[in-house]
Chains A and B, each alone.
Chain A
Amino acid sequence: MMGDKVEPRIGVFVCHCGHNIAGVVDVAAVAKMAMSLPYVVFSTDYMFMCADAGQQLIRDKIKELNLNRVVVASCSPRMHEPTFRRVVEESGLNRYLFDQVNLREQVSWCHMRQPKEATEKAMDLVRMSVARAAQLQSLPIKSVNVTPRTLVVGGGIAGLRASLDIAERGFEVVLVERLPELGGHVRKWTHLFPADESGAQIIGPLVKDVEKHRSIKVMQNSEVVEFGGYVGNFTAKIKNHETGRTKSVDVGAVIMATGFEPFRPFGYYGYGESPDIITLAELQELPPRADLLRPSDGKKVNKLAFIGCVGSREAGKQGHEHCSRHCCSAVAKAASDLKDKVGEVMILYQDIRTYGRGHEELYRLARSKFVIYSRFPKDSKPDVQVTANGITMRWYDVLSGDYLEFEPDLLVLASAMVPPGDIAETAKMFGLTRSADGFFNPEHIKLAPLTTHTAGVMIAGAAQAAKNASESVVDASGAAAKAVSLMARGQVEIESTVSHVIPELCSSCRTCVTACPYGAISMDKSREPAVALVTEAKCHGCGTCAAACPSNAIIMYHSTDDQIMAMVEAFLCTPAQVEGGTA
């Protein structure tokens, strides 16, 4: 830890972000206020701090005024912290002597109609940041080597695509698939949209390419049972279910392509009460034949019905609130394919969302083939009765304003995409977070869509959210690119914003071991009694341990107690009031 005992000289740069911030916050007033704060030697407001001219302004002022701390009040650090850290570094300042205030997402955007209060909040935040900046310390820049091998979990269309992309760029891949066969759901599907190809036609060549690639090691019938390590240096234990043997592999990056499960909608529309009520996934998996046959008695289907949004878009029902996105187009495609084989096709829907390229055309194709679309109201779902005579559907048709009835030979439920049943354990093993729909969270939905909060672990395809096959392969190529760029660098910088245990102060109470959500703290048994030890590369810098440590033995670098207290104090006691205090 470097001392940085020299008197702080802080420069404050308040960004307009065009009209984004300045349209709400009085940026000039904020900059003027900042000038009155302790240790501030320069303060200004500027149109775009992130633009070349804005960056140059920072460099110039650091040089001219010998600034040793820089505060930029602009957008979210997720957006431009790397930019400004680089700028101060180019001027010879350690990157940890920079602090960013978020005046956009956390002020102007969310308080658009209260400019006065927004300006007050902006001043509070800047005052706090300046107080923190005065306490900031230089931290060393550390890097670790990256093992040039990627683990791909899941051998569906996303996993296959990602594996191939990585291998073709000359890196090794270990592809783990739980089932005996590669290809996932897509392999089994007969009506793949938007092109007129079956799943097998798409997957076949992919699987062949993967299996014959020298850089890809395929492990079928296998599952990851243990996972540990940190970016560039993970170790996974993979168990083969056939042989019972466990193998350990070292990898530098991971792509999670664990996909989804088709929801089995028991309790919806008589599912489970008749073999002739099946899900869309089950329809896709029926063996391809010249005729569509009824599962119950093998007779030819004449009247076919679909119901949409089964287990999707249910407001207030956990895990079923999302639109499953693929179903509308998949139903349109299956219906128009099958219309050639059956007499009548009826689609009951709540809304139709054929949003992708070529998808609307499928909907029109279905309509042109006289597939009947009938809309039912959101709050009054169709009623399905199963009797000895067959299936009877009764519903209110919104467009005709009348109750209708239909007796299909086969009823297909377009059921939701839901996460695999064991996703909670998978998330825990890989240190991933999940969103409300149950799928894995990306690091940021727009700014970091394929990476996760566990550095070095990427997600692709339906592991992230309900999506169709073509979207999944785009993800897969993107995630592969992320993995390759990590491996190609050979080394990766790790954040120095980690926690550190002062062994002399540790009381071996293990509070931090319990508190750490990333398993980064263990007990160092080489000491007597054993004391806590942080594996820095595993540490995410969340600070939970430092807050929990009852003996103040843990320092959270870059968010030290002193820095946080300085901010709290700056917020609670404005400078004028601090005068005459006892500190």
Chain B
Amino acid sequence: MGKPVPVAMAQGSSCWGCFQSLVDMHLKLADVLPLLDIKYWQAVVDFKLKDLEGYPDKSIAVGFYEGMARTEEDIHLLKVMREKCSTLIAFGSCSCFGGIPGMANFSTIEECYDAKFRHNKTVNGGEVPTKNVPPIAEVVKPNTDYVEFDVYLPGCPPTSKLILTAVTSLLEGKPMDLPPHAVCHYCKREKKETPISEVLRPYVGQADPKRCLLEQGYICLGSCTWRLCEGPCVNKGATCRGCFGPVPPIMRDHGAASISMLGTYAPMEPDKLVAQVKDPLGTFYRFDYATSHLGRIRIKREDMKKEEHHD
């Protein structure tokens, strides 16, 4: 092993779960940590933003950006990371596709403020904070709108095993060979090509442990979702929610693919199907609304509004 490799870890708007997953390597950390020369990691090592800004461009070998970028600070941090890191990793599904926070785009910013601050159920006379907080964007734009990434490591969160594989190969300078294919590819359940007559909520009935969950009526996004997770949910009896996003080429429309897929499995009256699928946006676009075609249109509309104000 040579000299420790300079790395930087940055967090945008997110839950820190991806870094938690990194830490979840447990004893493997003992192998990995000595190889890292951590140059920046908010709340873990004591570097400030100005330190990161002060490094020479591309002087950091590998950067991890976790979360999406909605505040001005996030966007600034993301851009600085791009400048300073020679390899930048979109770390986790928020960073790749907008993730769970991307679902904020279902609502306008004012509606978000209402829910979070003004009419928050646990607060009386709530107000939108204005002091000591960075300005926030009207709409969640995917990180890829601001910078280009070299590697996408999706997942909510990426599994510890995947992180270990990725980190090891990156630090050793080897090309990272992530297999394509969807979760189904490695799901052990049996498929019989039978149409479903009813869409079931996850809590209804008891699923046959040996048969494809989708063919039993439970909406499983395994066939649309990148298999980097290696299928733990489906093989343990839970449907795939699609947290690893679309299969390569990964910037395709995951939600649209899953909706069209469902039509093939459920040849029922459209009205019936629509009535049975509760919360279609949240079901099919849970992790990647911001990068979907539908989400794009939402973003464009917000941009158009802004232009009208300027005119």
Give A residues with C-beta under 8 Å from B.
504-515, 529, 544, 547-553, 561, 565, 568, 572-573, 577-583
Which one of A507, A544, A581 contacts B223 once the chains associate, using CB atoms below 8 Å?
A507
What separation, in Å, do the CA atoms of A514 and B195 have in the docked complex? 9
Contact partners of A549 in chain B: CB under 8 A: 257, 260-261
Cβ A509 vs Cβ B182 within 8 A: yes
Q: Pick the contact of A582 from B145, B184, B191, B221 — CB < 8 Å?
A: B145
Known contacts A561-B253, A583-B296; 16 further A-B pairs (Cβ under 8 A): A507-B247, A508-B185, A509-B191, A512-B264, A515-B264, A529-B185, A548-B263, A549-B257, A549-B261, A551-B247, A552-B252, A577-B304, A582-B141, A582-B299, A582-B303, A583-B300
Closest residue on chain B to residue A504 by CB atoms: B180
A-B contact count (CB 8 A): 93
Contacts A507-B181, A507-B184, A511-B223 given; indicate if A551 touches B257 (C-beta within 8 A).
yes
| Distance of A547 Cα from B191 Cα, bound (Å) | 20
CB A562 to nearest CB in B, in angstroms, measures 10
Report the Cα distance A568→B294, complex, angstroms. Answer: 11
Give complex CA distance A506, B224 in Å.
10
User: In the complex, which residues of chain A have a beta carbon less than 8 angstroms from the beta carbon of B306?
Assistant: 580
B41 CB-CB contact with A under 8 Å: no
- Inter-chain contact A550/B182, CB cutoff 8 Å: yes
Answer yes or no: B160 CB below 8 A from chain A CBs. Answer: no
Given A505-B247, A529-B185, A552-B257, does the pair A573, B264 have CB atoms closer than 8 Å?
A: no
Q: Which of A512, A544, A548, A568 lies at the interface centre, i.e. has the most chain B CB atoms within 10 A of its CB?
A: A548
Interface mask (B207-232 → A, CB under 8 Å = 1, otherwise 0)? 00000000000000111100100000
Contact A510 B193 (CB under 8 A): yes
What's the Cα separation between A583 and B296 when bound, in Å? Answer: 8
Contact A514 B264 (CB under 8 A): yes
Within 8 A of A (CB), among B279-311: 293, 296-297, 299-300, 303-304, 306-307
Q: 0/1 per residue, B224-253, Cβ < 8 Å to A?
A: 100100000000000000000011110011
Are B299 and A513 within 8 A (Cβ)? Answer: no
Does B265 count as interface, using CB distance less than 8 angstroms? yes
Closest to B297 in A: A572
A residues less than 8 Å from B11 (CB atoms): none
Tell me whether B258 is interfacial, beta carbon within 8 Å: yes
Q: A426 → chain B, closest Cβ, in Å?
A: 22
Q: Which residues of B contact A548 (CB under 8 A)?
A: 260-261, 263-264
Q: Most B CB atoms within 10 A — which of A529, A547, A579?
A: A547
- Contacts A/B (CB < 8 Å), 22 sampled: A507-B181, A507-B184, A508-B184, A509-B191, A510-B193, A511-B261, A513-B193, A514-B193, A515-B264, A548-B260, A549-B257, A550-B182, A550-B221, A550-B224, A551-B182, A551-B223, A552-B247, A561-B253, A580-B304, A582-B141, A582-B145, A583-B300
Indicate if the CB atoms of B182 and A507 lie closer than 8 Å: yes
> Which chain A residues border B297 with CB–CB below 8 Å?
572-573
Chain B residues near A510 (CB-CB < 8 A):
191, 193
Q: Which among B195, B227, B261, B300 is the interface contact of A550 at CB below 8 angstroms?
A: B261
B97 CB, min distance to chain A CBs, angstroms: 14
B300 touching A505, Cβ below 8 Å: no
A582 to B293, CA, bound (A): 12
* Chain A residues whose CB sits within 8 angstroms of the CB of B300 once the complex forms: 573, 577-578, 581-583
* B265 engages A505 (CB within 8 Å): no
The minimal Cβ–Cβ distance linking B181 to chain A, given in whole angstroms, is 5
CA distance A508 to B222 in the complex (A): 11
Tell me which residues across on chain A come within 8 A of B253, comparing CB atoms.
561
Residue interface bits B75-90, CB-to-A below 8 A is 1, else 0: 0000000000000000
A512 to B263, CA, bound (A): 11
Which residues of A have CB within 8 Å of B193? 510, 513-514
* Cβ < 8 Å to A, chain B residues 147-194: 180-185, 191, 193
Q: With A and B bound together, what is the CA distance between A568 and B246 in angstroms? A: 21
Q: Which residues of B contact A580 (CB under 8 A)?
A: 303-304, 306-307
Cα–Cα, bound, A224→B242 (Å): 46
Which residue of chain A has the shortest Cβ distance to B310 in the bound complex?
A580
Query: Are B180 and A509 in contact, with the CB atoms below 8 A?
Result: no
CA distance A511 to B141 in the complex (A): 32
Q: Say whether A550 contacts B258, CB under 8 Å.
A: yes
Q: Which residue of A lies closest to B306 (CB)?
A: A580
